[in-house]
Amino acid sequence: MKMEKIIAAVLFLLGSIFGSFANVCIWRLPREESIVWPPSHCIHCQKPLKFWHLLPIISWLILRGKCGMCGGKIPVRYPLVELSTGVLFALIGWQWGLSVETLVYCLLSLALVISIGTDLSHQEIPDQVSLGAAAVLGLIALVTFNWGSLLGGAILFSLLLLIAVASRGGMGGGDIKLGLAIGLALGWRLALVAAAAAFFTGGILAVGMLLRGKKGKALPFGPFLAAGAWIAMFLGDNLIACYINLSLLLWAW
Ligand SMILES: [Zn+2]
């Protein structure tokens, strides 16, 4: 078996376990509960889970989406979060192998998955996630002398702050802090791609909602920032190359 395949498989397993941790964070952080104590318990009967209830994705499938003790329904969000974190980690490992990029992108992806969850359920992105990720990513940038990362963090943070001020609160503080983490992970070039992609996808949906008469309903921007970050992470270099070629073509014409 090729090395990339082994790395991707190991990272899928690791990602699904971190996805299970993400589920705990998504449920507990907005409720201001500790993420380490008490140990995982059923949200219905509060009984602590046995280890075979904790296997990512598999437990949910075997128990058919129900608690093994009280039969309470476990939302499909749980295996979905585990699966998507696993797939993201695997794709990153496949592309970047054993490298600092893989570590940085997996860390960011975990923070993004949790942010999407809490932003959709509680319209907030906890500081522990955004600033916690930013602190670790900033430290990695410092010890690897990656000035492009620090610049990326500064650019995205200032850009979103500017929009927040200009739109008088149209952009939340959580989004700005998440932007800092995204910029630190991606570096300044990809951070700009991420911002453009986030506004593009967010803009399309906002226009769609306006056209369907759903005016005035604030869109949580966290999921779009996350989508933008992943687009930049996986496709950014190609998008930049396309953009430059297109600009040169138009300029020559
Ligand atoms: Zn239960």
Q: Note the pLDDT tens digit of each residue in 206-246.
A: 777 777 776 555 678 899 999 999 999 999 999 999 999 99
Within this chain, do residues 7 and 106 fall inside the same structural domain, yes or no? no
54 alpha carbon – ligand 1 mean position (Å): 13
**The predicted structure's pLDDT at residue 214:** 65
**The predicted structure's pLDDT at residue 215:** 59
70 alpha carbon – ligand 1 mean position (Å): 4
**The predicted structure's pLDDT at residue 243:** 92
Within this chain, do residues 145 and 198 fall inside the same structural domain, yes or no? yes
Within this chain, do residues 59 and 121 fall inside the same structural domain, yes or no? no
- Total of domains in the chain: 2
**The predicted structure's pLDDT at residue 103:** 97
Instruction: For the chain, give the mean pLDDT.
Output: 93
pLDDT digits (tens, 9 = 90+) for 178-194: 999 999 999 999 999 99
Q: Per-residue pLDDT for 22 more than 70?
A: yes
**The predicted structure's pLDDT at residue 216:** 57
142 alpha carbon – ligand 1 mean position (Å): 45
Q: Per-residue pLDDT for 205 more than 90?
A: no
61 alpha carbon – ligand 1 mean position (Å): 16
Q: Could you tell me which of 133, 30, 132, 22 has the C-alpha nearest to residue 85?
A: 22
Q: Could you tell me which of 92, 44, 36 has the C-alpha nearest to residue 71?
A: 44
Q: Could you tell me which of 42, 201, 218, 18 has the C-alpha nearest to residue 112?
A: 18
User: Which of 98, 130, 149 is where one domain is finished?
Assistant: 98
**The predicted structure's pLDDT at residue 7:** 96
Q: Which letter, b or e, does each residue of 175-189 get, where b requires 16 or more Cβ atoms within 10 Å of its Cβ? A: bbbbbbbbbbbbbbb
Which comes out higher in pLDDT, residue 163 or 10? 10
pLDDT digits (tens, 9 = 90+) for 59-117: 999 999 999 899 999 999 999 999 999 999 999 999 999 999 999 999 999 999 999 99
**The predicted structure's pLDDT at residue 88:** 98
**The predicted structure's pLDDT at residue 218:** 65
Within this chain, do residues 55 and 118 fall inside the same structural domain, yes or no? no
Within this chain, do residues 106 and 76 fall inside the same structural domain, yes or no? no
37 alpha carbon – ligand 1 mean position (Å): 18
Within this chain, do residues 1 and 120 fall inside the same structural domain, yes or no? no
67 alpha carbon – ligand 1 mean position (Å): 5
* 3-state secondary structure at position 145: coil
User: Which of 72, 98, 124 is where one domain is finished?
Assistant: 98
Within this chain, do residues 147 and 179 fall inside the same structural domain, yes or no? yes
66 alpha carbon – ligand 1 mean position (Å): 8
73 alpha carbon – ligand 1 mean position (Å): 8
Calpha distance 161→159 (Å, rounded) = 5
**The predicted structure's pLDDT at residue 1:** 67
Within this chain, do residues 122 and 240 fall inside the same structural domain, yes or no? yes
36 alpha carbon – ligand 1 mean position (Å): 19
Q: What is the pTM of this model?
A: 0.93
116 alpha carbon – ligand 1 mean position (Å): 25
Average pLDDT of the segment spanning 119-144: 96
Within this chain, do residues 204 and 94 fall inside the same structural domain, yes or no? no
Domain, as residue range, for 69? 1-98
38 alpha carbon – ligand 1 mean position (Å): 15
Q: Facing residues of 48 across strands?
A: 41
User: Which of 48, 66, 98 is where one domain is finished?
Assistant: 98
Within this chain, do residues 58 and 179 fall inside the same structural domain, yes or no? no
Within this chain, do residues 80 and 126 fall inside the same structural domain, yes or no? no
Average pLDDT of the segment spanning 153-158: 97
Cβ–Cβ contacts within 10 Å for residue 126, how many? 22
112 alpha carbon – ligand 1 mean position (Å): 28
68 alpha carbon – ligand 1 mean position (Å): 7
Within this chain, do residues 183 and 222 fall inside the same structural domain, yes or no? yes
12 alpha carbon – ligand 1 mean position (Å): 28
